[in-house]
Amino acid sequence: MAPPAYRYHLHSDIPGKFSLSTVHDARAHAGDSLDIAKPLKCTDDLIELFQEWVRIGERVESLDFHTHGAPGSIKLGDDRLSWGTPDFQRLEDTGVRKVFTPGCPIVFRGCDVAEGPRGEAFVAEIGRTWLSAHGGTVTGSTGKGLMDPFGWLSPERVWHPLGTWVTATVAAGGAATLSGHSLLHPNRLREVAARLEPLVRSMPETSPAIPLLPPGGLGEWFLPDGPHVVASGAHMEQLIDKVWELLGRGRDDRPNYADIADAYIFLSVIAERVRPL
């Protein structure tokens, strides 16, 4: 007989932040002997938990995170976990994909986790890496959470009546398909890129440097004159070429949503510089 599979409810608060603790909702979801509510104080705690699961051969049939969130990330104590970071890679390297049972749902209950291109890619990337062995679903909210300390409006102390829920459905092998999303539609982005391309190609190769991006934007990706500046039409051509590369022009397979998110951000930069659309 197969060993039992457990349902984990992980919770984490930000030290010093005035808000309801996530522990109540995690414990409320842990309804019977196969449910386990567990606190996390930092990203290392999650890495160590995954390592322990793999070491003992744990079987996990569902997993939810009761944490604070932001578009494309969750907070574990003072740490912020987002895809494409060293900590995200460390989590994947634990081999945790082995422990999730077929069809396992993973739910992120923090605010705004699935908001924007980074948020939509976050749920897809979690699924592509953590659920690649047996498949399952990953879901996150695009809305802010509301506090209900007395449980008058919801059985949960923090609930999300605003926004929508984005879900990545993952097949065994790691291919993810998004639903409930609004931004990362490859065909829509290809249409926008095709309309922008001739305008970009007609721009002069040199033009005055102009500020485009706020702090925390694209950083130094393909922007040789600094983190917040696109300096010339030639640089815009580099961006449009990168968009086509990320969208997989000429490829038959579905590009991953991390690539599509980057393409969306690049197109946003180009659209700010090239008018009219």
Secondary structure (3-state) at 252:
coil
User: What is the model's pLDDT at position 213?
Assistant: 45
pTM: 0.83
- What integer is the mean pLDDT of 139-167? 73
pLDDT tens-place string over residues 45-90? 999 999 999 999 999 999 999 998 999 999 999 999 998 889 999 9
Quote the CA–CA distance of 260 and 182 in Å, as a whole number: 13
| Range name among 7-21, 125-139, 176-190 with the lowest pLDDT average | 7-21
For residue 165 the two structure tokens come to 């829920």
What is the pLDDT confidence band of residue 199, given thresholds at 50, 70 and 90?
Answer: confident
- What integer is the mean pLDDT of 115-137? 95
User: What is the model's pLDDT at position 30?
Assistant: 64
Closest of 107, 103, 91, 84 to residue 54, by C-alpha: 91
Quote the CA–CA distance of 229 and 37 in Å, as a whole number: 46
Tell which wins on pLDDT, 39 or 161: 39
pLDDT tens-place string over residues 65-77? 999 899 999 999 9
How many other CB atoms are there within 10 angstroms of residue 100's CB atom? 26
Quote the CA–CA distance of 16 and 247 in Å, as a whole number: 42
Beta bridge partners of 140: 108, 166
Residues 6 or more apart from 106 whose CB is under 8 A from it?
62, 63, 64, 65, 100, 126, 127, 130, 131, 136, 137, 138, 139
b/e burial code for range 128-160 (CB count within 10 A of at least 16 → b)? bbbbbbbbbbbbbbbbebeebeeeeeeebbbbb
Residue 212 reports pLDDT greater than 60: no
User: What is the model's pLDDT at position 219?
Assistant: 41
Q: How many CA atoms lie within 13 Å of 2's alpha carbon, on the beta-carbon side?
A: 9
Contact 137, 101 (CB under 8 A): no
Element (H, E) at 176: strand 176-179
